[in-house]
Amino acid sequence: MHTVYLSDQEVDAYLLDLVERLTALGDDAPSVLVGIGASGAILTRRLVTVAPQLGDREVLLVDYNRADDRITYIKADPVAKLPGKRVLLIDGTVHSGNTLLRVMRDVEKHKPLALSSYALVVRRGARVIPNHFGVLVGDHDRALFLRRSFPNNRLKPYGIWRKIAESDMTKPMISTGRDFIDREHWSDYWYEGRTDPRRQTYLYEVAGEICGFISFRMGDGSKIVVDNIGVDKSKQDCRVGGHLMRWAEHLARHGTCARMELWAIDDRVPWYQKMGYEVVPNEELQLENDKFLLMTKKLLYNLPDDDVLCMTH
């Protein structure tokens, strides 16, 4: 995953170009600006700041709530403002394009004279392309702009996060209370990593003691498979497991993986399904009294499955 940083000056430069193109339209220029969501509102505000001559244009702010598929016009009546007008929709970033398309369809219901759209950033796999846009980024990428601070990636703030090393072979295994992990040994993971470079094991260590670990395989380049993850009983209220999982997913996105996979014991399958995982058909392991099912989750959740197959590179 690449992060594209756009300075305030760069954002203004893109907006000034947009203003020039809209001005060139003359009487066909949009008279109503519609900012989509918070980023659209901020960008619309910035647009008018760099081009004060737009100050008398009508502005509507619209929000799309994905949870209930609801469009809300904020402090504005679209029935009064949109019919017969040339409308420009403005959004900060188009990811899947679902929000933009949804808003377009809703605005169309109010019979504008013409409809156009602008986004500062567009992801490559978006299903709707704005009429004007600034930057095209990959589907794993993100863009940051017009922010006072940029988010850092976050692991647990204390302790040492590191890859397994040969010296770990002499260290005691963590105690999770689960025999299928506790009976293993660090040398197992060290050996696997030495013989298969796709396999990675990361440890979390505090005061010289290993407290947690995650072991996964970078599958065929398109997915990451989490094999084992465990936290010592002494640290099981410290969110170590969640941070280990977060690290694996972060690596997966940076490695342009499209999916995460893991083997879940059958009685935990409903929990993983709630968290966005799906059962992979015909992939089961029956071991004594336990059945394991392979579960998968799309990392590029903004794309349908067939696009995911094309977009990874």
Partner 1 sequence: MLAKELVAMNEVDLLRLCQTTKCAQCGVSLHESTTGTRKTADGCLCSDCYFDRFDEELVAHPIGTPRLHKGR
Taking CB under 8 A as the criterion, which residues in 98-137 touch partner 1? none
Structure tokens at 10: 């760069």
Q: What own/partner pairs with CB < 8 Å and gap ≥ 24 does 238-242 have?
A: 238/156, 238/211, 239/156, 240/156, 240/204, 240/211, 240/212, 241/212
**CB nearer partner 1, residue 101 or residue 245:** 245
Task: Assess contact for 139 and 123: CB atoms under 8 A.
Answer: yes
The CB density around residue 132, as the number of other CB atoms within 10 Å, is: 17
The CB density around residue 231, as the number of other CB atoms within 10 Å, is: 25
Q: Is residue 89 near partner 1 by the rule CB under 8 A?
A: no
CA distance 34 to 194: 56
Angle between helices 8-24 and 37-50 (to 10 degrees): 70
Instruction: Select from 243, 257, 311, 312 the one that contacts partner 1 (CB under 8 A).
Output: 243
Instruction: Select from 2, 109, 111, 268 the one that contacts partner 1 (CB under 8 A).
Output: 268
Site for partner 1 in 26-55 (CB under 8 A): 33, 35, 37-39, 41-42, 44-45, 48-49, 52, 54-55
Q: Is residue 97 near partner 1 by the rule CB under 8 A?
A: no
Q: In terms of Cα–Cα distance, which of 236, 207, 241, 216 is closest to 164?
A: 216
Name the DSSP letter for residue 277.
Answer: -
Instruction: Select from 104, 203, 231, 260 the one that contacts partner 1 (CB under 8 A).
Output: 231
Instruction: Select from 24, 26, 66, 158 the one that contacts partner 1 (CB under 8 A).
Output: 66
Query: Of the ranges 21-29, 72-80, 109-117, 202-210, which one interacts with partner 1 (CB under 8 A)?
Result: 72-80
Site for partner 1 in 206-225 (CB under 8 A): none
Instruction: Select from 9, 75, 207, 281 the one that contacts partner 1 (CB under 8 A).
Output: 75
**CB nearer partner 1, residue 107 or residue 226:** 226
Instruction: Select from 273, 278, 279, 280 the one that contacts partner 1 (CB under 8 A).
Output: 273
CA distance 7 to 11: 6
**CB nearer partner 1, residue 62 or residue 104:** 62
Q: Is residue 147 near partner 1 by the rule CB under 8 A?
A: yes
CA-CA-CA-CA torsion for 223, 228, 231, 232, nearest 10 degrees?
A: -160
Tell me how far, at minimum, the Cβ of 7 lies from partner 1, in Å.
16
Instruction: Select from 127, 129, 135, 187 the one that contacts partner 1 (CB under 8 A).
Output: 187
Classify 198 as helix, strand or coil. coil
Query: Of the ranges 7-15, 61-69, 197-205, 303-311, which one interacts with partner 1 (CB under 8 A)?
Result: 61-69
